[in-house]
A and B are shown apart, each in its own frame.
Chain A
Amino acid sequence: MLQSIIFCLVAAAALGYSFYQFRKVYANIMMAKAEAVEGPTGERWKNMILVAFGQKKMFKRMIPAVLHFMLYVAFVFTQIELIEIFIDGIFGVHRFFADGLGTFYNFIISTIEVLSVLAFIATVIFLVRRNVLFIPRFNKPEMTGWPKLDANLILIFELILLVCIFTMNGTDEVLQGIDPAHYPDTNLAVTSWLGPALFGGLSEGTLKVLERVGWWGHIAMVFVFLNYLPKSKHLHILLAFPNTYFARLGQKGQMENMPEIMNEVKSMMGLGDPNAPEPDMNAELPEFGANDVFEMSRIDLLGAYSCTECGRCTSVCPANITGKKLSPRKIVMNLRDRSEEVGEKIRSGNTEFCKDESQPLSADNFDDGRNLWDFISREEVHACTTCNACVEACPVLINPLEMILKLRRHEILTEAAGPQDWLPLFNSIENQQRAWSVSTSRTEWMNE
């Protein structure tokens, strides 16, 4: 009875607080601009099923793909067990489905056990890869401090969770021989031999305590995980699905058009709609491109929150490979960091962040004197060759190039800044309609 009450309270608190945190993530993403979701829905579902569910892009690198797949399948499958844990927890029963499902129960839980062994192996290898082997993409400048700790914490949580599962099932197997009335008979693939091997010979009291430690430890880790997700790179386990669904379709080479500029240029050139209203000359100059989260698109922000910092983008970036400061992963991480910062400041209600102090603080009335350039240097953005290698590499279809190009557009169009080297290029296109300032004819090549 007491256990049931404690369980209900803990579960309600954990679910409630995680819901509150997920709402914040949602609100942060929604601060950005809406983007039209174009193209066939079927194509989007296909992307989600192949890329997120089927992890198609992971299989470009076999070793991490197989290890990751082991963890992923174990994780998804283990969720079935949660149903029973909740029923047992709320009603104070023990292995509610064991008697009713019989052999099928053994099959399900045995599958989870086998997958858990694989997950355990994968987790240990992942820890070794991160901390012992020198894998370059895990050792870039942006992967120090919190991102490094974050990656290790998830793996350690995973190990604790798995140890708890085996303690719970293993002690249960031994207790079945001591107190069969209370512990329904099961025959599980791993713990039927691992249980007696590890826990055989312990006293009944010790076993009962250990069984409860395993059970509570397991569910406690699930609750911790749930509340840790919104703060962690591990959020990808959820957001990979919407992110692959919303990822832009169409050719990677296509840059998003800017109709507001197109229309202005059209009217300048006398190509505009003659019935269009006269532009308001006194209107505040619009901002082009993005130097903050508000001008990024929600798809960009969703991407930033879906990033698990694996660094496949950075490991294929030609600029990064040749020692430039640009790292596509860092751009994506910075975008998330900035949305977190802005989101927290807006929710603080502190009027010092108001653009106009007479109005309430909101995304439209916000100025903390900072923007993405406080996170990302010009040098990084200038180093990009727009080669799309990062876009191609991302296992969950995040588009770092889109973010970089929006920063470039802001720099050139809104700030009238940017690399000096580009001025001759711009001048010759503007004045001579060609990319180089030369005076020869375009048919010069015919004369030889």
Chain B
Amino acid sequence: MTVKTMAQFAAEEKQPEILFWVGCAGSFDDRAQKVTRAFAEILTAAGIEFAVLGDEEACTGDPARRAGNEFLYQMTALQNIEVLNMYGVKKMVTACPHCFNTIKNEYPALGGHYEIVHHTQLLQQLIDDGRIKMTGGGEFKGKRITYHDSCYLGRANGVYEAPREVLQSLDGQLVEMKRSKTNGLCCGAGGAQMWKEDENGDKRINVERTDEALATGAEVIAVNCPFCLTMMTDGVTGKEKQDSVMVYDLSEMIVQQMAK
């Protein structure tokens, strides 16, 4: 598929409706790339004119900042803000709750003011507005689905309902884990843990969370974050349940079941 970049829109002296902020995971991680494609496909199907930054995008700085490296965060964040302001970007959507949180809550202090939504929020809106329609039946109909709240969409920004409503449209059976919403347990990747070995302990955090997800008897674990996707997938594989339990991002589920 081909998606136009902001540079191409600018060359045509046009503004897209919305900028899709892909993020590093969505750009470089094999598994997360599939989520990026799925979400781009949904945007296209909904008839939304959107752009990406392509190679003009830089890391938002979330992992650097949370590791404590404020210099690096400021460097990469200010660079992004320069680019975004140059293109006059107003509206954005991203499939990564870490990028979402940083751009929404932390870029304003640096001079970057944008209206940004997480892709699950946009998905909910598109379904509500009838811009994407679900086919009756489909792969997830009647399946037990459990939703894992990411910390940066959930507690960090208080978004709990939009993703659940999106899942409702799949006609599956939504089952909650023991710890969910404000009490949701982290997958273990936040705060730059994704890039380092665990400190000594008895158990990996993603294993703890996967055990809890599997205890619901769910056949699908739905996530909204590329890091949770990695952690939960690793957890399920570790339990050798990869053949019976799937880990999906919400957009991958919608794309499979929407009327094309």
Interface on A for B, CB 8 Å cutoff? 60, 250-255, 257-258, 261-262, 265-266, 268-269, 271, 288-289, 316, 318-319, 321-326, 379, 382-389, 391-392, 405, 408-413, 418-419, 421-422, 424-426, 429-430, 433-436, 438, 440-446, 448
A258, A425, A433: the one contacting B58 at CB < 8 Å is A433
Can you list 29 contacts pairing A with B, beta carbon distance less than 8 Å? A253-B157, A258-B74, A265-B74, A269-B75, A316-B183, A318-B205, A322-B202, A324-B200, A385-B190, A389-B185, A389-B186, A391-B155, A408-B67, A408-B68, A409-B70, A412-B68, A412-B69, A421-B196, A422-B67, A426-B67, A426-B72, A430-B75, A435-B195, A438-B28, A443-B3, A443-B55, A444-B33, A445-B26, A446-B37
A446→B59 CA distance, assembly (Å): 19
> In the complex, are the beta carbons of A436 and B72 less than 8 A apart?
no
Q: Which residues of A contact B129 (CB under 8 A)?
A: none
Smallest beta-carbon distance B167→chain A, Å? 22
B52, B71, B155, B192: the one contacting A252 at CB < 8 Å is B155
Smallest beta-carbon distance A400→chain B, Å? 13
Q: Which residues of B contact A435 (CB under 8 A)?
A: 24-25, 28, 59, 63, 195
Interface on B for A, CB 8 Å cutoff? 1-3, 5, 22, 24-29, 33, 36-37, 40, 52-55, 57-59, 61, 63-72, 74-76, 78-79, 82, 101, 104-106, 109-110, 151-152, 155-158, 179, 182-186, 188-193, 195-205, 207-209
B33, B64, B184, B209: the one contacting A425 at CB < 8 Å is B64
A288→B71 CA distance, assembly (Å): 11
Q: Which residues of A contact B205 (CB under 8 A)?
A: 318-319, 321-322, 385
Q: Which residues of A contact B66 (CB under 8 A)?
A: 255, 386, 405, 408
> In the complex, are the beta carbons of B28 and A436 less than 8 A apart?
yes
Given contacts A262-B74, A419-B67, 17 further A-B contacts (CB under 8 A): A255-B106, A265-B71, A269-B75, A318-B208, A325-B199, A383-B198, A389-B155, A389-B183, A392-B183, A430-B72, A434-B27, A434-B59, A435-B24, A442-B22, A442-B52, A442-B54, A446-B37
Q: Which residues of B contact A258 (CB under 8 A)?
A: 70, 74
> In the complex, are the beta carbons of B105 and A318 less than 8 A apart?
no
Q: Known contacts A258-B70, A318-B185, A405-B68; is A382 also within 8 Å of B28 by CB?
A: no
> In the complex, are the beta carbons of A433 and B76 less than 8 A apart?
yes
A429→B189 CA distance, assembly (Å): 18
- In the complex, the chain A residue whose C-beta lies closest to that of B62 is A435
Smallest beta-carbon distance B201→chain A, Å? 4
Q: Which residues of B contact A386 (CB under 8 A)?
A: 66, 151, 190-191
Q: Known contacts A265-B75, A388-B155, A388-B156; is A288 also within 8 Å of B70 by CB?
A: yes
Q: Which of A252, A442, A444 has the most CB of B within 10 A?
A: A442
> In the complex, are the beta carbons of A445 and B58 less than 8 A apart?
no
Q: Known contacts A265-B75, A405-B68, A411-B68; is A324 also within 8 Å of B24 by CB?
A: no
> In the complex, are the beta carbons of A443 and B75 less than 8 A apart?
no
Q: Which residues of B contact A265 (CB under 8 A)?
A: 71, 74-75, 78
> In the complex, are the beta carbons of B200 and A251 less than 8 A apart?
no
Q: Which residues of A contact B204 (CB under 8 A)?
A: 322
Q: Which residues of B contact A436 (CB under 8 A)?
A: 24, 28-29
> In the complex, are the beta carbons of B59 and A433 less than 8 A apart?
yes
- In the complex, the chain B residue whose C-beta lies closest to that of A424 is B195
- In the complex, the chain B residue whose C-beta lies closest to that of A447 is B1
